[in-house]
Structure 1
Amino acid sequence: MWRISVRQLTQKQQRVGLRLQDSAVCKIWNCRQTSTSAAAAEPAAELSNSELADVGGWEFQSRRLSRSVSVASIGSAQILPSSRTSSLETSVFNTLDTALHSAVHLPLLASQSWLTQWLSDSGSDVLEHYGTGSKSTGQLSTRSVVGVKNFASAAAVEQVQDEDDEEKQFREEVPSSAVKIQPVKKKSKERYSELYERQMEIESKAWESAAAEYRELMLEMCKKNLAPNLPFVQSLVLGWFEPLKNAIEAEQKAVDHLDFRKHRAGYGPFMCQLPADMMAVITMHKFMGMLMTDLCTGGCVKVISAAANVGEAVEQEVGIYKLLRKKNKKKKGKKGAIKEDDPVEQVSAVIDGKIKDQVKKLIKQQKLRVAGKMVRHANGDEPWGSDIKVKVGSRLIEIMIDVATLQPPASQTEDDMGEMRPAFKHSMKTFPGLNNSGRKFGVIECDPLVVQELDKSVRHMVMPYMPMLVKPRRWTGYGSGGYLVLPSTVMRIHGAKQQREAIQKATKTSMQSVFEALDTLGSVPWKINTRILDVMEHIWKDGGRLAQMVDADNVLVPSRPCTEDEAEILRWKREAGRIKRINSERHSLRCDTELKLTVARKLRDEEQFYYPHNLDFRGRAYPLHPHLNHLGSDMCRGVLEFAQGLPLGPNGLRWLKIHLANVFAGGVDKLSFDGRVAFADEKMEEIFDSAERPLEGRRWWLEAEDPFQCLATCMAIRDALVSGNPEKFVCNLPVHQDGSCNGLQHYAALGRDQIGAEAVNLIAGEKPADVYTGIAVRVRAVIEKDAADDPRTNPNVEKAKLILGQVDRKLVKQTVMTSVYGVTFIGARNQILSRLKERGLPDEGEMYRASCYAAKVTIDALGQMFKEARCIMSWLGDCAKTVATQGEPVRWTTPFGLPVVQPYRKPGRKMVKTSLQVLALRDDASQPVAVARQKSAFPPNFVHSLDGSHMMMTAIACKRANINFAGVHDSFWTHAGTVDKMNDLLREKFVELYSQPILENLLNDFKRQFPKLEFPEVPRRGDLDLNDVLEAPYFFN
């Protein structure tokens, strides 16, 4: 179906054109008459039907038509949109040029080749297309309501199969220059079916498609000699593919050999459950992917991590592969035999034959238990154990090490080409900084040439868990929901058997609300903000460095000094080591940035996409896609927006201005709401300049703490104001409402703590209270006193003087945030040390001493300000210790019905011999509980389970109120036009949550589990009235 604009036709052509309206649906777009000279295209606002009565011009009636259409020349303008035409697609002809005379020139079908021309045209092209020099037509300029590319389209027409001679003559006579076409959206059912099929392809055939792409590229390279045009790492991987595939095929064929069975019987059959080319692609991509993440240290990946990741990826693909086989068999039963060239069935026959042979031999050897287990594995009825996964992964990595070689490019060597050398090698290495007493780990070392080029090859990596093109499956059980075929579990349990059993048991009783909340979060449609993405791409192409994007270049490492002075050499070593660490961090950040941009590029042309969510064991929700999601950095949040826009309404523009101040931060976010609005109004000139010329203008948006989110908000504010009617402006930007040190808010509500409630905005105030500033003031007072003291009696004088000028809100913020979650002195010291490093203090030794001192002062200040929270934390810890000393993990059920079991046990290991080395796998399940860890982790985990409950309760309430909702733990997002309603709901749900006797219920739960144990009584409560939260404007702000 196409939407077409036509400039001028004869009356006969008009008459025949009307007859081509078989089942047409008119789509009326905005077209405004200007002066006799062509005007530049500008944005135009939509007019409602009530506003059209005052506009002189034409009457257009748009209905489903059979063979005719009623179009009349009348003095008043009225448009009756089709019921199938959405409000976004329906615009207005305000005034038509008088030369168009007595009828709307309804479109004709043109060939699809015109689509490219239409999409590439600019506004000036369209004006020329309308014949600006013609005396009979005059001048006609166009303005688009919904997009720069949508010009002067009058109707959507379905092609008629039967054409009479008159119609054929009509098509021949109409000049092609008079016709432009644009695709019209397909019917919703057809569109959904198409998207569903694409999603199935993405999930089920990602590795298979990658293998096919390698094969095609190899053939193309051989024919056209394309290798020199490929990026270095991509050409390497492509060169490894064929040898690796052949080596895996040889391994699969060797399964039946006696020697193979003797040494590899434990994993041999599992090597045969996928085609060799798919296994090759999985091995290369998973390993190269690990080199781009924090699993990589100095170009090395631990064998245990690499083997487990590759083995797990193979197991997941085997599950998908078997699912496709089952579907093929069903088709075969219904429609006859599958095609002989079906690759799934061909390889499956080979795999089945090998497994059957293995099972027969095991039965002959009377190894019935092993044979039965193999059959269950082959049928997908039993998951692979960790030992099988690491054995398969190790063998595949070993094969890759054997076949992967590289030849340095000419620019890397003095000669024309360097000698071939291995790309990877297996070695043993000690990792500094780890508490392992000098223990060595098996690692796979990657050649430096590969490492330094990795970030340029991210876009070629396979990413299985991408955002979905259709809504995720509804959650109905532990492993049922989320992606269509990719393995998805409702909770990330990391092997904790008791937690999995608790979820499976609760699924039939108390989990329905949890499932509903996850379904709500997963059903929110998102899209890419292409204007922000274009800015990101421009900055990245120019080397980064702006808007907190990482520098594309490394810092030069200084040369070793030509001296024998040991002190100078030691300083050089420290400086060189520091720079190498910086470069290593930059490499990781470059890979991470490229991963995010790659996902955004893949999604930029999608109308909408979805993030399936699941939970951690405490009940906090996370998207399953790891790279580009709204829980990520400013870069992620800035480039994402809601796919479905909503009018701003009476308060939406105000909330956009408040949101601008919040993401700009720098203290502006701590003003009252009126103060934040005034800030935006004062900066309106900068807002417009940033929106219209983000890189060419004054770049005010770069001063923001969250620059990309600030730029997106500038664009939204500018667009709303330019529209002429901000209340009716349709906006897609998510607006955030964040809790005020949310952990302390939950503790204040638990203990009905009046003083704590005031500090964290549970009670109304003229402006928001800032607990971080309050702690910073206390810390500064102590440090100023120490700095003025006598160094002979006070050992902290020098440290106080060193850090005195550094104490501010930002220095203590992370420690305050995590204090209620049980942050230790070491944790606080590391947090403060990180802030000092960011400020570039020169001497690491001095920074370390200063951070130790500041951490102690900060923790003391927290203890003084939040005594009641500390009391509840101590009570929770004592209860946990009482339980854990009985050899049991702490378990509880959240107010939302989610069972939680703390997974902490003493570390256990089991030794698994693989083809590379003996690996020590973690095996904690059978070990005793770790009493100290159970105690220290319970207070923060319990509070996290409460903030997760509050978020999910709010999500469901918003869904029932028809409000778009996205949650980032203690930050709740919605449209600017629905912020007021969401604010009411989140406060109501907080009061509803804490109106329950949460601590009493927890104590009773413990007593039911352990009736013979004595537990301390619940701490005494304060006199806070929870209903005060309903009137607290800055509770979330």
Structure 2
Amino acid sequence: MTVQYKSAGSRKHPERQIEWTHNKYEKEFNNVITQAIKNINQQLFICVYDGKDINYDKVTSLSKSINERLLAFNDYIVELLFFGSGVKGIDNNKESLANATGSDAGKGVLRSRLVITKGSTQSLINKIDKANVSEFLYKGKDNTRDLQTFLNIINEIENMDKIDNKIDKLSSLNTPLLKTIKYILSSKITPYEKQVAIEKALIDYELDYFNRNMDSNEARYKILHSVYPKFKKAYDGLINEYKSNNYFKLKKLIKKLKSKSTNGNYYVDIDNDSKEFYNIVVVLIIMYLGSDKCISYSFSQLVNLLNSSTDDHKRTNIAINLGNKVIRLIKNITPCTPSTPITAYGEPGGKGEDNKLALLFSLNELRSLFTKLDDRGYYWLGDTLLHLIIDNCDIIVEEIVLPTNKVKDSYTILRFNEKFISDLTVGSVNLVQLPMLSQPREIDSKGNYFPYINTESTNLHLFEGRLIKSKYNVRDLTQGSELLYQGINYLNSMKFQINKLMLNFVLNEWDNKESKLFKGFNVYQPILEGDSKEIKMKKLSSNSKYHLYSNIINLASLYKDQEFYLPVFVDFRGRIYPLSNYLNYQGGDLARSLILFADCYSEKLNETGIECLNIYLANLAGYDKLPWNRRLSKVKGVVDEYLDSLRVSKVKYIEDNIDRITEPFQFMSIMYAKLYHIRNANTLISNPILFDASCSGIQHIASLTLEKELANNVNVISEAKSPKEELPQDFYSYALDKIRTRLLESDIVELRDIKLNRKMIKRSVMTIPYNISMAGIGEHLMEHFESNWVLKEKFIKIPGEATISGKEVNLNGSMYGNLTKIIYFVLTKELPSLKLLTDYFNGMIDIFSKLNLPVTWVTPSGLKISYTNMKFESTRIKANLLPSSNKTTIKLPTDSMDVMSMKRSFMPNFVHSLDAANVHLLLNSISMKCLPIYTIHDCFAGTPNNMLVLEKLVKEAFIEIYFKDEGYLNKLHKHFMEEILSATDTFNSNNNGDNIYVVNRMTKEVLRIPNLPTGYKDKNESINTFIKGLFNSKYFIG
């Protein structure tokens, strides 16, 4: 090619001759500038993502430096071509250079069409293909991403500077309590000292609720100014009756009580002396607390009880719980005499007249009476305190509920008045709803559990030193095990932090009143006088979500700069739950999206980490039903589409796919992690990755019974040669196909047209292990159908999406009953292993109940569970300290077993004890590897690099339960046999066959001990097949 441009050399090397063709020049010029863009943008990325102080000015300054550096490259090229004359020389001689022709061409003179100036270079820079930058962004082939995306991402980071301003706008953070916590968190003291301060501040706040809130200038607390004098007057009116005439009435009651004591032991006949006994106990408690503390603590605990989404709001239950909480206060904190302020840790006080109460009846004497109290005593105290509050204000109202089932009695619930609900709910927290700033105290070898720094904090808010929370209708306590205690200690040692990037995103979305992600629950719905009952109930339900989300956001905002712990407790089956019901990893989508493992667990992603991060992103994007490798292939498209959607808004991708993305906040959290890694492969990631078991309850039943077909359909085992290419089995679809087959065989024309869909039957299928009923199936289906009345007959409308014809089908009551009957038949009778197992357990329960023995079993992690559902009997009671008290019915436990209740509830509780054992064994093995973890029963979370190790350990724990030695069902059967044989006599018969008979020693009844389910012993020989199939299954979890 003809040489068009020639350089005699540069300043530094004038002897160097360089000849340029036109194409070579353009190629070289573009290469230099492209490389400059890539290098400078790479520096910008590193700065943005490693920096702590990125703001608009910083980004503008860096952007400006890009142009300056590129123009510097232009100067270098000009110097190279034109003997070092530089840009200025070219500008000054532009015209002569442009006119040069003939012999001058090719001797260092440019043709006019390609004059190099700063202006022309800047223009060329602006036209450079922006895909050059995308090569840095994606580090892969065939990936394109334009520079605008880069700018959008930078803007996302820029906005982090404004997060504190957004938090400051949260009015719910301005409550006196949250202000105190915020002050403590910002103090320059150790995390341990902060935790101690918060524990003390919370108890002091509850004991001084009215004074703390009445000192606030906020309008929301003005109501407290008007009601407190009424509470005080009511309190004094009650107590003065016992204090007047030198405590005359109180002395009389005490004298009568002490007449029934010997050496300090009180012998009280509760059935005959209950009225006087409960009255003296309640009066003494109220007097020892004093007016301010009695009113403040009772009111604050009532607010907490009504704010709890998990507690029953029936008035009777609230009264019992409130009485219980006040009893705990007196037991665990040393109060002072009536006129002396009580502090959280009971500084002594009181002289002269103040000591009269203690001289009449000491605090220790009062505490000794608490052992005589049952639910009647707790109710007596709680009802008295409720009347002091409810009779003197309209903040909390009583409402009679008429049940739809005429068999049941009406009952009264307590709720906040709509006028005050927002003021008393948002920003209201107690100790157990807060994360801990220091590691929880460990469980000791005896199972004593005091996770908080101060023992009083645990005793007031938990179960008085017990890790395992008992169930009200189960007679015996579950016995823990060393393996459980070690596992809980390890889980409690997990350290977490707030995902600030997600908090910023959430705060922006919270302010968006049209948010599709919050589905309207970020807007408070005021209750209007003209609202119908239906509208009112919808608004109350919506506001409940609003308060929940608001409190989650409040706590995340408070703790955004702290590392924290989330202590747990255990239910009687061994299942693990965080104490906090707001900000915790077992909460909903919003709460989980805001929680990261702490920085000490963060890691640069390896190949396994990248794969697991991508899988979880694909799962959250709605592709979890695809084969493993196809999910991985979807990730690039998901990221591309998301980045493209940023041109419109940060949430457009989610809004466009809202039907598929069921957990949008967690999707965003993992999308951000993915983008971080794309920008810089060395980024440290600490996002939890969650792998969920598929149909966990059925997995346990399939493994317990060694039912191979069932195990295959819930991904316990797989025989696939390429598991990652195999579709995951879907038990819901499997059950749906069976239901559709039965419907097509129906004699009823309308039923033959019904096909249902996976979503409609999912809830019923999920409850298969839990003794589902036909009535329960009918209720589950009605969540998707509508009902209409025609001439006093009720019809159920099946939508076109659930029919073969695509047309609506209307079923009368009889037809709908047949529909539920067919589904029930399929879900219970066509799964033979489930029916045989249920029959086996029901037979065992019959034997144990006739022997008056609890059904006991030892889980694979060593917990000993004694399961005896008690019958309850109703009794009428009236706490008559106040004239406004009414008679109410409370239920008290008896010594009799409720056999029907045990049969209904045994299977779900038994299965839950096994999935809990799986977690206990997992915690034990994972603690040896010191890996981060948390669990949501049958869902397992870890950091990306460790997820495949976690998956393997989950499987090994499962094998330990079901497929080791003789199998768990065999071990369980032997345990049942030992329990029965120890309480009976052997019955000898010549015709026993394989059956074993025993004689009830009390009734002399001959009882046949149930055999293991038919065929189980033969299946037991296939245990090795299950082990091999489990390790081969890619979708056991994930």
Alignment TM-score, normalising by the size of structure 2: 0.68
CA contact (8 A) 1:316 1:486 kept: no
Q: What is the rounded CA distance, in whole Å, between the counterparts of 2:439 and 2:558 in structure 1?
A: 18
Does residue 236 of structure 2 align to residue 256 of structure 1?
Answer: no
CA contact (8 A) 1:701 1:711 kept: no
The Cα of 1:527 is off from its aligned counterpart by: 2.0
Q: What is the rounded CA distance, in whole Å, between the counterparts of 2:765 and 2:902 in structure 1?
A: 22
Given candidates 834, 842, 845, the residue that maps to 1:869 is 834
1:222-241 pair list within 5 angstroms: 230-231=219-220, 234-237=221-224, 239-241=226-228
Q: Which string of whole-angstrom CA distances, capped at 9 and with x for unpartnered residues, describes residues 369-406 of structure 1?
A: xx9752436xxx959643333223222221112432xx
CA contact (8 A) 1:359 1:375 kept: no
CA contact (8 A) 1:526 1:610 kept: yes
The Cα of 1:1017 is off from its aligned counterpart by: 1.6
Counterpart of 1:777?
Answer: 737
Q: What is the rounded CA distance, in whole Å, between the counterparts of 1:462 and 1:617 in structure 2?
A: 24
Given candidates 731, 736, 751, the residue that maps to 2:690 is 736
Q: Which moves more between the two structures, 339-348 or 309-318?
A: 339-348
Counterpart of 2:359?
Answer: 357
Counterpart of 1:745?
Answer: 699
Given candidates 557, 564, 573, the residue that maps to 1:601 is 557
Q: Which string of whole-angstrom CA distances, capped at 9 and with x for unpartnered residues, describes residues 203-229 of structure 1?
A: 3431423565753553464xxxxxxx5
The 1:602/1:784 distance shift into structure 2, 3 A limit, reads farther
The Cα of 1:931 is off from its aligned counterpart by: 1.0
The Cα of 1:982 is off from its aligned counterpart by: 0.8
The 1:716/1:399 distance shift into structure 2, 3 A limit, reads same
Given candidates 669, 685, 688, the residue that maps to 1:712 is 669
The Cα of 1:965 is off from its aligned counterpart by: 1.1
Does residue 426 of structure 2 align to residue 493 of structure 1?
Answer: no
* Aligned residue type for 1:751: T
The Cα of 1:738 is off from its aligned counterpart by: 1.4
The 1:870/1:993 distance shift into structure 2, 3 A limit, reads same
* Aligned residue type for 1:525: K
Q: What is the rounded CA distance, in whole Å, between the counterparts of 1:200 and 1:991 in structure 2?
A: 43
1:438-457 pair list within 5 angstroms: 439-444=409-414, 446-451=416-421, 453=422, 457=425
1:885-896 pair list within 5 angstroms: 885-896=850-861
Does residue 900 of structure 2 align to residue 932 of structure 1?
Answer: yes
The Cα of 1:716 is off from its aligned counterpart by: 0.9
Given candidates 360, 366, 390, the residue that maps to 1:374 is 366
Name the count of aligned residue pairs. Answer: 792
Q: What is the rounded CA distance, in whole Å, between the counterparts of 2:836 and 2:496 in structure 1?
A: 43
The Cα of 1:756 is off from its aligned counterpart by: 1.4
1:118-129 pair list within 5 angstroms: 122=55, 124=57
Counterpart of 1:628?
Answer: 583
Q: What is the rounded CA distance, in whole Å, between the counterparts of 1:291 and 1:813 in structure 2?
A: 32
Q: Which moves more between the two structures, 858-867 or 844-853?
A: 844-853
* Aligned residue type for 1:602: L
The Cα of 1:970 is off from its aligned counterpart by: 0.9
CA contact (8 A) 2:670 2:687 kept: yes
CA contact (8 A) 2:847 2:1009 kept: yes
Counterpart of 2:143?
Answer: none
Q: Which string of whole-angstrom CA distances, capped at 9 and with x for unpartnered residues, describes residues 442-474 of structure 1?
A: 4556544334x458x421454544221122111
* Aligned residue type for 1:491: I
CA contact (8 A) 1:308 1:393 kept: yes
Q: Which string of whole-angstrom CA distances, capped at 9 and with x for unpartnered residues, describes residues 997-1022 of structure 1?
A: 32222222222222124321212322
The Cα of 1:430 is off from its aligned counterpart by: 4.3
Instruction: Could you tell me which runs of 5 or more consecutive residues in structure 1 were left unpaired when the two chains were aligned.
Output: 1-32, 47-87, 93-118, 152-189, 222-228, 326-337, 361-370, 405-421, 561-575, 787-793
Does residue 487 of structure 2 align to residue 517 of structure 1?
Answer: yes
Counterpart of 1:366?
Answer: none
The 1:904/1:436 distance shift into structure 2, 3 A limit, reads same
Counterpart of 1:531?
Answer: 501
1:707-856 pair list within 5 angstroms: 707-723=664-680, 725=681, 728-764=682-718, 765=720, 766-786=726-746, 794=747, 796-798=748-750, 801=753, 803-804=754-755, 807-836=756-785, 845-846=796-797, 849=813, 852-856=817-821
Does residue 572 of structure 2 align to residue 617 of structure 1?
Answer: yes
Counterpart of 1:307?
Answer: 319
Counterpart of 1:432?
Answer: 403
Secondary structure of the 1:628 match is coil
The 1:671/1:126 distance shift into structure 2, 3 A limit, reads closer
1:461-476 pair list within 5 angstroms: 461-462=429-430, 464-476=432-444
The Cα of 1:1030 is off from its aligned counterpart by: 1.7
Q: What is the rounded CA distance, in whole Å, between the counterparts of 1:622 and 1:747 in structure 2?
A: 23
* Aligned residue type for 2:937: H
The 1:902/1:763 distance shift into structure 2, 3 A limit, reads same
Q: What is the rounded CA distance, in whole Å, between the counterparts of 2:842 and 2:646 in structure 1?
A: 51
Q: What is the rounded CA distance, in whole Å, between the counterparts of 1:658 and 1:445 in structure 2?
A: 44
Q: What is the rounded CA distance, in whole Å, between the counterparts of 1:519 and 1:218 in structure 2?
A: 41
Secondary structure of the 1:482 match is coil
Q: What is the rounded CA distance, in whole Å, between the counterparts of 2:470 and 2:493 in structure 1?
A: 24
The Cα of 1:589 is off from its aligned counterpart by: 2.6
* Aligned residue type for 1:710: F
Secondary structure of the 1:683 match is helix
Q: Which string of whole-angstrom CA distances, capped at 9 and with x for unpartnered residues, describes residues 264-288 of structure 1?
A: 3131111234354343333333333
Does residue 204 of structure 2 align to residue 208 of structure 1?
Answer: yes
* Aligned residue type for 2:980: F
Q: What is the rounded CA distance, in whole Å, between the counterparts of 1:654 and 1:854 in structure 2?
A: 44
Secondary structure of the 1:1033 match is coil
Q: What is the rounded CA distance, in whole Å, between the counterparts of 2:188 and 2:846 in structure 1?
A: 53
Secondary structure of the 2:945 match is helix
Q: Which string of whole-angstrom CA distances, capped at 9 and with x for unpartnered residues, describes residues 662-697 of structure 1?
A: 2233xx211111111111122221333578986464
1:23-34 pair list within 5 angstroms: none
CA contact (8 A) 1:832 1:854 kept: no
Counterpart of 2:867?
Answer: 902
Counterpart of 1:65?
Answer: none
The 1:374/1:600 distance shift into structure 2, 3 A limit, reads same
* Aligned residue type for 2:382: G
Q: Which string of whole-angstrom CA distances, capped at 9 and with x for unpartnered residues, describes residues 470-512 of structure 1?
A: 2211122454233333233211213467433x52xxx5xxx11
* Aligned residue type for 2:567: P
Q: What is the rounded CA distance, in whole Å, between the counterparts of 1:886 and 1:611 in structure 2?
A: 43
Counterpart of 1:1026?
Answer: 1026
Q: What is the rounded CA distance, in whole Å, between the counterparts of 2:782 and 2:589 in structure 1?
A: 23
The Cα of 1:256 is off from its aligned counterpart by: 3.4
The 1:580/1:460 distance shift into structure 2, 3 A limit, reads closer
% identical aligned pairs? 19
Q: Which string of whole-angstrom CA distances, capped at 9 and with x for unpartnered residues, describes residues 642-675 of structure 1?
A: 123222212212211111222233xx21111111
Secondary structure of the 1:820 match is helix
Q: What is the rounded CA distance, in whole Å, between the counterparts of 1:958 and 1:549 in structure 2?
A: 38
The 1:204/1:694 distance shift into structure 2, 3 A limit, reads farther
Counterpart of 1:954?
Answer: 922
* Aligned residue type for 1:758: N
Q: What is the rounded CA distance, in whole Å, between the counterparts of 1:126 and 1:535 in structure 2?
A: 20
1:312-331 pair list within 5 angstroms: 312-322=324-334
Q: What is the rounded CA distance, in whole Å, between the counterparts of 1:290 and 1:195 in structure 2?
A: 29
The 1:1008/1:534 distance shift into structure 2, 3 A limit, reads same
Q: What is the rounded CA distance, in whole Å, between the counterparts of 2:596 and 2:867 in structure 1?
A: 36
CA contact (8 A) 2:375 2:892 kept: no
Q: What is the rounded CA distance, in whole Å, between the counterparts of 1:973 and 1:950 in structure 2?
A: 14
Larger-gyration structure (1/2): 2
Does residue 213 of structure 2 align to residue 244 of structure 1?
Answer: no
CA contact (8 A) 2:618 2:634 kept: yes
Instruction: Could you tell me which runs of 5 or more consecutive residues in structure 2 were left unpaired when the two chains were aligned.
Output: 1-34, 73-152, 162-185, 254-275, 721-725, 789-793, 799-810, 985-997, 999-1007
The 1:315/1:121 distance shift into structure 2, 3 A limit, reads farther
Taking only aligned residues, the RMSD between alpha carbons, in angstroms, comes to: 4.5
Does residue 283 of structure 2 align to residue 268 of structure 1?
Answer: yes
